[in-house]
Amino acid sequence: MSEQKKQPNYFEFYELPIQFNPDLNTVKTKFYAFSKKFHPDFYANESEEKQQEVLELATLNNKAYQTLSNPKKRLKYVLELKGIVETDEGYQLPQTFLMEMMDINEALMDLEFEPDVEKMIQVKAGISSIENQLSSELNNLVVKYDETSDESLFPAIKDIHYREKYIARLKERLNP
């Protein structure tokens, strides 16, 4: 039985509350401060153990910054940190959403066999409209969570996260 490695808490590392929209100036300030503090050149004369420890802290700092400064990565990270989303989880999207996506997938298949500029523009506009609606709903939910820490919002946030992933895959098909 393999023991799963505990994910580092980047918010704790940067002394921030767990939020979907942390103060990005603080994130940047902490990143630069730790980049200086944990720069390997300052530890060249230290023991091998100390050099390794500093290298691990520098790596943690880089990963924390990359994750917390990117809205999509940060959303997924917060959901994973809270145990709401698991890596490679098989999430079941709602049937109504899948039916809507089936229409778009059929239109995309038709376009592969019979390219049609007008139809392509319509499909792209439809996908864009769904994407904007999801983004707006998600933004409202994460702002509400950041203000209230109401964890009952997590299922809705998780659902939109997976819908957005689905839409991103559709967009990849549009722009190969």
Tens digits of residue pLDDT in 45-58: 888 899 899 999 99
CA distance 13 to 163: 30
CA distance 11 to 8: 9
Tens of each residue's pLDDT in the chain, 176 residues: 334 456 789 999 999 999 999 999 999 999 999 999 998 888 888 888 998 999 999 999 999 999 999 999 999 999 999 999 887 778 899 999 999 999 999 999 998 899 899 999 999 999 999 999 999 999 999 999 999 999 999 999 999 999 999 999 998 887 76
Could you read off the pLDDT of 21-49 as tens digits, one per residue? 999 999 999 999 999 999 888 888 888 89
Closest among 137, 135, 136, 140 to 167, alpha carbons compared? 135
